[in-house]
């Protein structure tokens, strides 16, 4: 489902936008540091904080994410469903290392901490029409 062209948008160079929703129906919009390519039907999102987004996702697993290619600035829209979390292993270690690099670049070394790699199933993916790209 995920095309190869989407991979540059998963480098974490530009924060991604994530919207979750509580069971009471309140949407919650936030930025996240990493959307990581796992395979052609799964991505991993960095879980860094025990916050409203975290609580929403445990209650309602459906989220919407916008990711951005840092070169062409092409945007992609993904509908995702939370599946499970990993707190150790190769994927977690890779994401942890990348998050440390992102934190260092953005002056957030004391704040960003990877608690888990949250694995999501990709329900849909498409390129955004927001920008007029030749």
| Footprint on this chain of another protein (rule: CB under 8 A) | 17-21, 23, 25-31, 49, 51-52, 60, 62-66, 73, 79, 106, 108, 111-112, 128-133
- What is the Rg, in whole angstroms, of the alpha carbon atoms belonging to the chain? 14
Measure the CA–CA gap between 85 and 82, rounded to whole angstroms.
Answer: 9
| Class of residue 130 by CB neighbours under 10 A (exposed 0-12, middle 13-18, buried 19+) | exposed
């Amino acid at each position: 489902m995920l095309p190869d062209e989407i991979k540059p948008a998963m480098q974490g160079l530009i924060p991604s936008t994530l919207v979750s929703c509580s069971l009471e129906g309140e949407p919650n919009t936030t930025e996240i540091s990493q959307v990581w390519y796992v395979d052609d039907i799964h991505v991993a999102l960095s879980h860094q904080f025990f916050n409203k987004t975290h609580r929403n996702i445990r209650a309602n697993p459906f989220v919407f994410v916008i990711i951005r290619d840092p070169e062409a600035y092409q945007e992609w829209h993904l509908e995702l469903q939370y599946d499970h979390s990993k707190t150790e292993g190769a994927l977690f270690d890779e994401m942890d290392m990348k998050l440390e690099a992102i934190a260092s670049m953005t002056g957030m070394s004391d704040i960003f901490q990877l608690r888990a790699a949250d694995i999501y199933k990709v329900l849909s993916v498409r390129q955004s029409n927001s920008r007029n790209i030749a």
